[in-house]
Amino acid sequence: MRLLVSVRSADEVAAAVSGGADIVDAKEPSLGALGAVSARELRSIADQVPSEMPLSIALGDPADTQALQQAMAAVGQLGARAGAAYVKVGLAGTTDHDTLLASAVRMAAETALSPAVIAVTYADGAAHHLPPAHAATRLIVQAGGAGLLLDTRSKHGFDLFHFMPMSAVRTWAAEARAAGLLTAIAGSLSIEGVRAAATLPVDIVGVRGAACEGGRDGIVARQKVTELRAAVLQSAGAVA
């Protein structure tokens, strides 16, 4: 399992990288679960992340293809990288998920960065008529995307496993992997939640608040990232 750490600015990249993150994710936490950083900040973040290190980019929950194109424009300003690149596209902004994801795959391929597209659905999204994990898996496979992230829209009070038990996550992950998808989970996970996540057949676990001094709206701290990295390795090793 790889550890993804979300940063909101270039100033946080060094702590994430030196602390042991496997993937650096550009995201603005004040704009919600999948808030996009500005185009200028994205360029600054990308410049600070080692070229061979995977870079992930949150694009929000676009309401339509026009909004998606505006979000993707910032990605289009980045050059090619030696390491992998991903864009995360949320499904909460529209009900036309087929068109959104197919457009995301096409637009991403037209950029120099050519990032893999990761669809994002939310375990606490039932009230908003969002597709559950198994339905979102089918959607991203049909669109030709690379993977699916299970997250939570709410970042206050409950984590992913409150809304989706570990047994259900395990079943989904096995099905998604069988379909050839990259699997990722996030959602207000504490270090204990990360330890639990590392026992599951999931490729990536993502954090923001647990990696920060002062919580989600604080600042990424090297020591906290190091502790999270150790938790992943210890838990994954225990079930290997």
Q: How far apart are CA 165 and CA 237, in angstroms?
A: 22
Could you report the per-residue pLDDT of 172-205, keeping only the tens digit for each?
999 999 999 999 999 999 999 999 999 999 999 9
Average pLDDT of the chain, as a whole number: 95
pLDDT at residue number 235: 84
CATH of domain 2-238: 3.20.20.70
pLDDT, one tens digit per residue, over 67-105 is 999 999 999 999 999 999 999 999 999 999 999 999 999
Distance CA 98, CA 96 (A): 6
Tally of CB atoms within 10 A around 58 = 29
| CA-wise closest residue to 221 among 1, 9, 14, 10 | 14
114-153 pLDDT, tens digit each: 999 999 999 998 767 789 999 999 999 999 999 999 999 9
Residue 97: φ, ψ to 5°: -70, -35
pLDDT at 238 over 90: no
Q: Which residues are catalytic?
A: 27, 88
Residue 237 pLDDT exceeds 80: no
Note the pLDDT of residue 99.
97
